[in-house]
Amino acid sequence: MDTSDTDKKQTRAALTLAALGIVYGDIGTSPLYAAKEVFNPSHGITLDAGTILGGISAILWSLMVVVSLKYVTLIMRADNKGEGGIMALLALSSSAVQRFPRWRVALPILGGFGAALFYGDAVLTPAVTVLSAVEGLEVGTSAFKPFVVPIAVGIIVALFMFQRRGTAVVGKLFGPVMLIWFSTLAVGGIFHIVTEPRILGALNPFHALKFITAHGWSSFIVLGAVVLAVTGAEALYADMGHFGRSPIQTAWFSLVFPALALNYMGQGALLLSDPSAISNPFYLMFPEWALYPMVALATMAGIIASQATISGAYSLTKQAIQLGFLPRMNILHPSREIGQIYVPAVNWVLLAAVLGAVIGFGSSTALASAYGLSVTGTMLIDTFLTFFVIRFAWKYNLVLCLLATGFFIIVDVAFFSASLVKFADGGWFPILMAVLIYTVMLTWRRGRHILAKRRQSSAIPLDPFLASLFADPPVRVPGTAVFMAADEGAVPHALLHNLSHNKVIHERVVFLAVTIEDVPWVPVEDRIKIEAMGHECYRVGMRFGFKDRPDVSKMLELCEPQGLEFNMMETSFFLNRETLIPVLDVPGGMALWRERMFATMARNASSVTDYFNIPTNRVIELGTQIEI
């Protein structure tokens, strides 16, 4: 066998194992609570052989339709240069509808709400997985019941406190731990299937169809519990850029799906033989001696699932910042591992929200009512955006596009509607979070648009300005001045202020404009464009993708091969610090409370120097006031 073929197989195996730890943590821990909630007596459905076969069948076919067909087969094909996730899908669909003004405006609004819903998922996943894992202690003895929530709180606090150190070391354990977890799920399921083979009838989809139609209103309500089995499906798509499509698909079909299917059927087999096991069918699958080891293993799996969504929230925040949905935040790189970031502001807000959910709801059953809405809402928006990709980017036949996405939209609407029924029982929590985050995102995006129009209305064209300036040039001083420009065609306010106050101009002047493209990565060779403007003035354009790190200092080094060399000790960066003044009844503005919110966010955004990695000791800031 060729050595390169062997290396490729080893690399693919390593990526598949890593995908187990990062991608499948959330959906892999669903057996802790999904079957228990599907057969919850509060739904009003009698627990008999028919309903058990139907409920397990509904779970299995939901995994097949939502995960195997929709995400693994269809949506994962809609990659944005190898990247996935709702922000990548939004960028891809938005670029596909450039010829349609209405959709060009509507899709970012819709995608922004989908991103806001994901933050609800990032709060509820740690809460429900850790809490449901620790609840296994109650199975051994009720004496542990008062300690379940405090133990869960302690684990969650430790998890979030650890984030600033990075997960490069412990992350290597995620794949092997999840491999053990899925293997254990499969073995536990097989044991009970062998003792009660009637459960294999759940493979027949007619049992699922009967279950969700034969019990009237109760059947509709129980759909909101069935969806708990597919929580985490979005992670398959969101993490595609880290591992590639093939390893994620291989892990799903070769291990994850079979293990989940066997475990759910095993829980169903247990309920067929002992309906009283509904109190906690997952832990009661295992022999008494294995209970506490399983609690420990489930807790580790819950922590891994939580880590995946926390890291996902960091990545989503970075993408949202660079696509203009959120203000600049301090983004740290806690390790040398590529792509690993830590956002302190997001970390502490998430921790507060997760603790509020754990303490406020108090049990995995109560949290399950809240969980479905954020998950189903995000899945529905994913499907809707996918239509625009396959129709306008891939240019498939309209009928084929409608059939391909229409079926999944019907499924998603059914799940979302069933979850919406539980709004008063906890579903309000992720919706409230999403509305608050979405308000922030829309306000920031709208505020930036208004601010750009204000700048444009008072902008002075750069080329004629330089022509008039050098007709009677001011005194030129040694060194290089770099003026950061929001609009590469307009005179930066910082230059006007410098000329007004200091009456000088540097011997070399660079007008630097940074653009974030709607693609995840911009190749290094395409990031720099230099244009000589005469009189030792240069226009430099830098382009980054929404997943790139916009490192200005590093990119300036790439200017040297193009004839523009920078000596940082002789270079000064002139930045414009804008003070925003909310004003009532300004044409084209926002409500006063939103203008104040925008001004507050702008004032508290992380510094431009940190965000663009500009040497702080070479920066000069000149202020200006703008009414909004």
Q: Where along the chain do the CATH 1.20.1740.10 domains lie?
A: 31-287+301-446
CA distances from 606 to 30, 321, 601 (A): 38, 11, 10
Which amino acid is residue 146, in one-letter code? Answer: P
Phi, psi of 330, rounded to the nearest 5 degrees:
-70, 115
Model confidence pLDDT, tens digit, residues 355-377: 999 999 988 888 887 888 888 88
pLDDT at 1: 45
pLDDT at 157: 94
pLDDT at 337: 54
What whole-number percentage of the chain has pLDDT above 90? 38
308 vs 306: CA distance, rounded Å: 5
CA 330 to chain centre: 17
The architecture CATH gives domain 31-287+301-446: Up-down Bundle (1.20)
Model confidence pLDDT, tens digit, residues 235-247: 788 777 777 788 8
| CB 237, CB 382: distance < 8 Å | yes
* Interior angle at CA 418, CA 416 and CA 422, nearest 5: 105
Phi-psi domain of 341 (left: phi exceeds 0; alpha: psi -120 through 50; beta: other) = beta
Question: DSSP string covering 319-371, please?
Answer: HHHHTTSS-----B--SSSTT--B-HHHHHHHHHHHHHHHHHH-SHHHHHHHH
Spell out, as residue ranges, where the chain has pLDDT lower than 50. Answer: 1, 3
Q: Is the dihedral of CA 19, 69, 389, 115 positive or negative?
A: negative
pLDDT at 339: 57
pLDDT at 5: 55
| CB 355, CB 156: distance < 8 Å | yes
